[in-house]
Chain A
Amino acid sequence: GQQVMQIPQYQHVQEGEDFTTYCNSSTTLSNIQWYKQRPGGHPVFLIQLVKSGEVKKQKRLTFQFGEAKKNSSLHITATQTTDVGTYFCAGISGNTPLVFGKGTRLSVIA
């Protein structure tokens, strides 16, 4: 079945450093979604990418969808303590429901 791999599993950064998490699917995706989960909270939808090669920005966050629609990345510029949490990608392929990656847990050291 469809698999979504996400790396790294953990990332510790100094405040002000950049952060990137990568997502790879075993199948071509129709769309990919990104979620953020704060410690003790629930996942919250951030963004959806649909088009091949698409790039979207939300303030310091940049999301990319690969040309082959099998990979994606989330880049955070100049991390802040408010960025702490786990970032999940989730992909859809065909008529199957969303498949989540295992997430990247980001810690920011002030």
Chain B
Amino acid sequence: NAGVTQTPKFQVLKTGQSMTLQCAQDMNHNSMYWYRQDPGMGLRLIYYSASEGTTDKGEVPNGYNVSRLNKREFSLRLESAAPSQTSVYFCASAQEFGSPLHFGNGTRLTVT
């Protein structure tokens, strides 16, 4: 059981470039989430999908888009990367909305 798998693990982008962070879970969970973690800021929710077919904005959605491709996969897209988006990004899933989260190993993104 792989749990929550995120790709890539590391990425360096130039300002203005775009990229998609991939996330897949094999636990048949209904809810999926994208967080970013910055020093001293804890975990801040970017977007979430309470169930397949729905997506909602979290605390810090600006500059990001998401796609719940199917029950397993939830991708995060940066259309035009900015240095302020340098962060560690975590994908998480949960059995149901509000249930405990299972996190992936994270993607460390640097935007220069």
Seen from chain A, the residues whose Cβ lies within 8 Å of a Cβ on chain B are 1, 6, 9, 30-31, 33, 35, 41-45, 48, 88, 90, 92, 97-103
Kindly list 6 other residue pairs between chains A and B, CB separation below 8 angstroms, not including A98-B45, A100-B44, A101-B42.
Answer: A42-B104, A42-B106, A43-B101, A97-B56, A102-B42, A103-B42
A98 x B98 contact (CB < 8 A): yes
B100 x A45 contact (CB < 8 A): yes
How many B residues, CB 8 Å from partner?
Answer: 23
Q: Which residues of A contact B104 (CB under 8 A)?
A: 42
Q: Which residues of A contact B98 (CB under 8 A)?
A: 30-31, 92, 97-98
Q: Which residues of A contact B105 (CB under 8 A)?
A: 41-42
A42 x B103 contact (CB < 8 A): yes
- In the bound assembly, the distance between CA atoms of A97 and B100 in angstroms comes to 11
A88 x B42 contact (CB < 8 A): yes
B33 x A97 contact (CB < 8 A): yes
- In the bound assembly, the distance between CA atoms of A44 and B33 in angstroms comes to 15
Which of A43, A97, A100 is the one whose CB lies under 8 Å from B48?
A97
Seen from chain B, the residues whose Cβ lies within 8 Å of a Cβ on chain A are 33, 35, 40-45, 48, 50, 56, 58-59, 90, 97-98, 100-106
B49 to chain A, nearest CB (A): 10
B17 to chain A, nearest CB (A): 25
B106 x A97 contact (CB < 8 A): no
Nearest to B92 among chain A residues (CB) is: A43
- In the bound assembly, the distance between CA atoms of A30 and B97 in angstroms comes to 13
